[in-house]
Chain A
Amino acid sequence: MELSRPSLLPSCALIFLALLASPWWSVHSAEDVVITKVDRRIDLTSHIVRTSASIRFENKGSSDTTKVLFALSSAQAERLAYLAAIVLEGKGKSKTQSDPVAVSQVSFQSAPRDIVLYSFSLNKPLKRGESAIVEVNYVLTHVLKPFPEEIKQSDVQLVVYLDNAYLLSPYVVKVQTTTFKLPRSRVESFTKLDASRLADSELKYGPYENVAAFSHQPVTVHFENNQPFAVIKELQREIEISHWGNVYVTENYHLMHGGARHKGTFSRLDYQARPSASGVAAFNRLFAKLPPRAHSVYYRDEIGNISTSHLRSDNKRTDLLLEPRYPLFGGWQVTFTLGYGVPISDFLFYSKDGQRFLDFTFGSPISNAVVDKLVVKVVLPEGSKDPVVSVPFPVEITHERKYSYLDTVGRTVVVLRKENVVPEHDVHFQVYYKFNNLALLAEPLMLVFGIFCFFIACIAYMHFDFSISKSSASYQARLQREEVADAIQRLQKVMNVRAAVTDKLDASLRDLARTGDVASCKAARKAAEATLKETAKEVKSIQEALQASSRAASVLLKVDSLIQKEKEKQDKLLQKHSLTVELYERKLSSKDIDNRIAPYQQKLLVLTQEVSDLLHAIDD
């Protein structure tokens, strides 16, 4: 990943001496297979070098073979991010693609150093005399070396690419061509060979015929490439499954401009005023393709939200345009966090055996970025068991435990690590796990239980007596206070009873006015008098109790006057009652009755008022 790694050139040149003589592959019937045609296209338009080679293998040997070999120089193999091959079957236009063939790295004791061999296991054996076209795609990263290594703001970025003019192969190659696709037609220099030509933005080598195995002809291309060299030095993706309906993804980026380092000043003025001539190699925006129906997207760093982003979403896709806080010039770095949630129904499924599995993309959603180190953490819900991961390429898998909201036993985290990740790795992977639905209820129940305990504790506190000394002054005082309060409460109760009596008397008077039933009215009065007598006793006892208590001094006065006033009021009421009845019996006109009882009425009103005032005061 370092930009200044040792040059490819010397190592490549040395390896291939007298290779043909060595017998190491004779056991492998290499002589039986020849490559009849190779067409290599190397895409140099971005900072990720994608090579696609269509190789026609022909079996000239005596027996069938299922394996063919493919070679890369070790310098390239070191930077190899992705390698895949498919077999094209049929001829002409009816070509069909097979499934990807299995690729495995092989090594032989006698193999030359500095060469890495890969073996393709063909799905169908290659029969004698037959041929098959294998499409090989491989991706290299960090192989475009900026030269010069440091540029100024106004400079363009020039890079150097080293490769072999021939396909590096353990087999003899009959015919081959190699094409370099460049971003712009501006090329500083390139290695000139026999059949090399530059047309527009394409540099072509070949066709070359009958090239021996492991032939090497280094070529160098020095050209302008102002594409964003977006290198994510480290990316941590955390995919958290919540069975309450969402999958939350948090991605921590450490982004860097991997091109030629910026030198000297940065003038915002030039950058803003002349965007075409200044900072052409810098980039200030990235494009991320989030899953469809992504929501609650956030884009921030350790010091807060980054406001420069645009989100466009419809049913089928969610596109996010990210702008870092500042434009990235060569060597500048930035960190940020991207987070979003997606509905769980889009990514979580049930497998046939009843397990659940998460089906999610592996790589970074940012387009055309190299990730040097990728860590994907899948946080399974609490209570999940037996996670099994299925990833289409080798990754390092470990397990962790994470404690999140109100967890008790923690969540299982499946950690996948991979280095040198390119957009080609952005494929789906699966995590299978077992989960009991009851575990969903654990946390709510815990909360319910916690709050329940809290209330129980409160109730217990209110009902228990926690005082240490039963004879202390404050305890005694409190007891006395409670006694007084109790007495006053009783007093209020009695007063209520007496007030009810008043009500009854009034009701009887009303009935009298309506029905003229004197007898029932009298009976009512008798009953009232009886109750009043009874309650009067009680009142007296309460009054005595209060007088005995030393704490009641403040209320005592009020209580006394209340009792007195109340009594007076009841007396007056009784008087009024009897008078009214008497007058009614005498069959006086209502006006007369009114006149007669008017003084009582007034006094009664005043007393009622006073009593209610006093009651209120005691209440306070």
Chain B
Amino acid sequence: MAAGTEVISPRRGAFGSVLAVLILLLIGILAFSIRLFSVIKYESVIHEFDPYFNYRVTQFLTKSGIYEFWNWFDDRTWYPLGRVIGGTVYPGLTLTAGTMWWIANALNIPLSVETVCVFTAPVFSAYAAWATYFLTKEIKGTGAGLTAAALIAMVPSYISRSVAGSYDNEAVAIFALILTFYLYVKTLNTGSLFYATLNALAYFYMVCSWGGYTFIINLIPMHVLLCIMTGRFSSRLYIAYAPLVILGTILAALVPVVGFNAVMTSEHFASFLVFVILHVTALVHYIKRILTPKTYRMALTMVLTIGTVGALTLVAILVALVAASPTKGWSGRSLSLLDPTYASKYIPIIASVSEHQPPTWPSYFMDINILAFLVPAGIIACFSPLSDSSSFAVLYMVTSVYFSGVMVRLMLVLAPAACILAGIALSEAFGTLTYSIKYQQIPTLSNEPVSEEKTTALKSAIDSSFKSVVPKDSIKEKTKVEGDEKVKEPVKEKTSKRIRKKEKEIAEKHVEKQVERKPLVLPLEASAVGIVLLILLGSFYIHCVWAAAEAYSAPSIVLSSQMSDGSVHVFDDFREAYAWLRHNTDENDKVASWWDYGYQTTAMANRTVIVDNNTWNNTHIATVGMAMSSPEKEAWEIYQSLDVKYVFVIFGGLVGYPSDDINKFLWMVRIGGGVFPHIREPDYLRDNQYRIDSMATPTMLNSLMYRLSYYRFAEATMDGNGYDRVRRTEIGKKHFKLAYFEEVFTTQHWMVRIYKLKPSKNRQRGKNKRKTKAVSKKITRKPIKSLKNPWSS
């Protein structure tokens, strides 16, 4: 559309495109700067858990180079198993940040790796906003594109995952996702092989970046299928899809973490099926063209009959096969495909992550706000008229709504769709409104009484002629009319008195009319709707800024609270503990903690951990869970068998930090119990209630987690009663000594407590050895099952 304008009226087109570029630039700046609240309010630091791993990988990449990176076997995690990092990460983010760092340093701009990592997400959200502009422009034109870009620049859902410091795969993946969609739609609109190739490359980038690429490789086939079924098959569709499948699959298989999964797993099955269907359709179209209608009909009937018979036999064979297998052919994976909540319901390790839970309604309002109400309007706008590209937008919207309903995390995929459709809706609405402003004069003029004075008629004729010349711009017109009057002044002097008198009258009337007409330039209904929309947008903007500043900027490793006198108190306990571990323990010591803190420990404390957030080995995690839920002695033996020197727990009872290990403890029990049946959840619950007070079960009170968390806690509380400020209760067992562990460090607010395993006693050695063996045997005997969440980063 912009291109069209460009060629038709070059100056206006140029002005328009310059304006659009300027607006896009501002949108980019907005997208970047709205995400800097975390840096301003806290500091330039990597956030949360996974980003620390990515940061560490990036550090390794920049230090050792790309080849070392592919072959990197990390022995500082999953001790003693280790982890092949190069083959198990999505390298897109790391390579992107590494390249950015490399370019900056090649230009002698000495940015640290950390700085580059912190600002990767904001930079890529600006790119994502621009990609959204192009995608929406392909669907519904420049205006919609600009609106959608502005919306995605500040939609809270996306901000939540891309604030400065949130150095996670999603940061670049959303950009890659939108870019892929844009190039697909562009290819669909132009039928150009050039864009098709670019599309495959964008898809490759997406595969590199995020496990969510399966969304693309399912959504695009779905759209192609939709187009075929609604009779929209064209060569453009073929060009848009066939190269993507071939090139995309080959490229995807190059990414080590995907590899042969690109052709072997069920996530990719749909794309190949549709690929076949597309070719069949193309063949049918070809045959239809070369055959006469009559022969074609005959051929069709024949094929259909044979096809039906063939299909029926195939189905019969399949049914027989499935019926013969004991599980009826349904594996957990296919179940989780059919019922996406399956994994989060029955696999505790996935269920224990809060972002894998289904979202609540308020979270929709929080994350996409008024867009949720604009989306239906956008869908309607997409149907008038329905094109290939607008049907894609609708399909994208519908599927992403479904997925966001499964997992909170996938809200992120919904955000671009919502922004595109809301952008379309708003653009259409404002388009209509401004349209009605433009043409508002007509009814006024035609309503004018014909029986007015001749000069009046002349006037209106003049006016109308003016309008015919410049009907576009009402403001311009007004000024012109006024200017016209000014021109008239000197002429008036010459005329006779009679005419002058008349003229005066007319002039007065004219002025009156001008005054009358002014409010009509902005029609009431249109302006009311416009104002309502503007107010809505204003409140959306305020909401976004609020969300960016207050809700989504906390780095979670630094906590802060407002004191009564208005000053801010900082809880920096995590880094205190990690720094202590880093500087005051031996470099080869092994540190055990719950897996949430694995990435942070390797990155910040530079110590070997037993389990981390990668959660690839359930048994290993279960072992740590078992140790945490066992009594001190058994726990000591388990840890000793794992060569662990230090154990730390997160404890929030003193300052009231709710997401501590005691609150996560039930998950440890469940995960541990999932592999080691002697850990039973009911043992830790009293009447199905999780409690740590005097009513708690002895198993609970003797578990390592309880003891490490509450060791000498009662003495630290005000009157020695051991009041836990998170659980809001007095703890059950107050005074006890640790026999197998010793406290070596506790942070200022007691949030991290580090314990050291006491050295084994001489006379127990033989006994220990036997036990250790038993435990390690237990570990190795279990089949190593990798549980992969399709969306895991």
Contacts and interface: CB of A to CB of B under 8 A. Distances in A.
Nearest to A611: B468
Contacts of A304: 43-45, 557-558, 575
Contact of B9 (A305, A481, A492): A492
A110 interface: no
B515 interface: no
A332 B576 CA distance: 13
Interface in B747-764: 747-748, 750
A403 B7 contact: no
A486 B8 CA distance: 7
Interface size class of A (residues with CB under 8 A): 35 or more
B1 interface: yes
Given A514-B499, A594-B452, A265 B744 contact: yes
A599 B227 CA distance: 52
A235 B260 CA distance: 52
Interface in B596-632: 604
A300 B750 CA distance: 22
Given A598-B450, A601-B461, A609 B572 contact: no
A602 B465 contact: no
Contact of B465 (A332, A502, A589, A594): A502
Interface string B27-45: 0000000000000000111
A605 interface: yes
Given A305-B45, A334-B579, A594 B454 contact: yes
A281 B450 CA distance: 104
B583 A333 contact: yes
A352 interface: no
A266 B572 contact: no
Contacts of B457: 590, 593-594, 597-598, 601
B747 A305 contact: no
Contact of B743 (A266, A492, A499): A266
B45 A489 contact: no
Contacts of A334: 579, 583
A509 interface: yes
B468 A612 contact: yes
Interface in A296-355: 300-301, 303-308, 325-326, 331-335
A309 B392 CA distance: 55
B108 A407 contact: yes
Contacts of B469: 499, 502-503
Nearest to B456: A594
Contacts of A265: 742-744
A513 B458 contact: yes
B651 to A, nearest CB: 11
B790 to A, nearest CB: 32
Contacts of A325: 572, 575-576, 579-580
B110 A405 contact: yes
A307 B572 contact: yes
Interface in B84-140: 107-110
B109 A405 contact: yes
A266 B746 contact: yes
A29 interface: no
Nearest to B574: A303
A7 interface: no
A517 to B, nearest CB: 11
Contacts of B712: 267, 269
Q: Which of A507, A605, A618 gathers the greatest number of chain B CB atoms within 10 Å? A: A605
A335 B110 contact: no
A408 B107 CA distance: 9
Contacts of A481: 7
B7 A482 contact: yes
Interface string A577-620: 00000000000011111110110011011001101100010111
A506 interface: yes
B83 interface: no
Nearest to B606: A302
Nearest to A593: B454
A254 B557 CA distance: 24
Contact of A303 (B465, B575, B742, B750): B575
B60 to A, nearest CB: 15
Contacts of A506: 461-462, 465
Contacts of B503: 514
B578 interface: yes
A113 interface: no
B467 interface: yes
A589 B454 contact: yes
Interface in B408-460: 442, 445-446, 450-458, 460
Contacts of B9: 489, 492, 619
Nearest to A404: B110
Given A406-B109, A489-B8, A510-B458, A266 B745 contact: yes
A612 B471 contact: yes
B584 A332 contact: yes
Interface string B650-668: 0000000000000000000
A453 interface: no
B10 interface: yes
Contacts of B716: 269, 272-273
B454 A326 contact: no
Contact of A594 (B107, B453, B468, B743): B453
A404 B108 contact: yes
A1 interface: no
A595 B453 CA distance: 10
A469 interface: no
Contacts of B570: 307
**Which of A267, A331, A406 has most B Cβ within 10 Å?**
A267
B108 A514 contact: no
Interface in A460-492: 481-482, 485-486, 488-489, 492
B21 to A, nearest CB: 12
Contacts of B455: 513, 590
Interface in A90-137: none
Contact of B750 (A268, A515, A608, A609): A268
B450 A594 contact: yes
A509 to B, nearest CB: 6
A264 interface: yes
B4 A514 contact: no
B604 A303 contact: yes
Interface string B679-714: 000000000000000000000000000000000100
A407 B458 CA distance: 73
Contacts of A333: 583-584
B470 to A, nearest CB: 9
A604 B453 contact: no
A267 B1 CA distance: 71
B450 A595 contact: yes
Contacts of A408: 108
B348 to A, nearest CB: 31
A480 B630 CA distance: 80
Contact of B579 (A326, A404, A611): A326
Contacts of B324: none
12 contacts: A269-B746, A303-B575, A304-B558, A332-B583, A405-B109, A485-B8, A514-B491, A514-B499, A594-B454, A594-B457, A608-B468, A616-B471
Given A303-B604, A334-B579, A616-B472, 14 more contacts: A268-B748, A304-B45, A305-B45, A333-B584, A335-B583, A405-B109, A406-B107, A489-B7, A510-B458, A515-B495, A589-B454, A590-B454, A601-B460, A611-B468
The 3 closest A-B pairs by CB, nearest first: A590-B454, A485-B7, A268-B746
Interface of A: 264-269, 272-273, 300-301, 303-308, 325-326, 331-335, 403-408, 481-482, 485-486, 488-489, 492, 499, 502-503, 506-507, 509-510, 513-515, 576, 589-595, 597-598, 601-602, 604-605, 608-609, 611-612, 616, 618-620
Interface of B: 1, 4-5, 7-10, 43-45, 107-110, 442, 445-446, 450-458, 460-462, 464-469, 471-472, 491, 494-495, 499, 503, 557-558, 570, 572, 575-576, 578-580, 583-584, 604, 712, 715-716, 742-748, 750
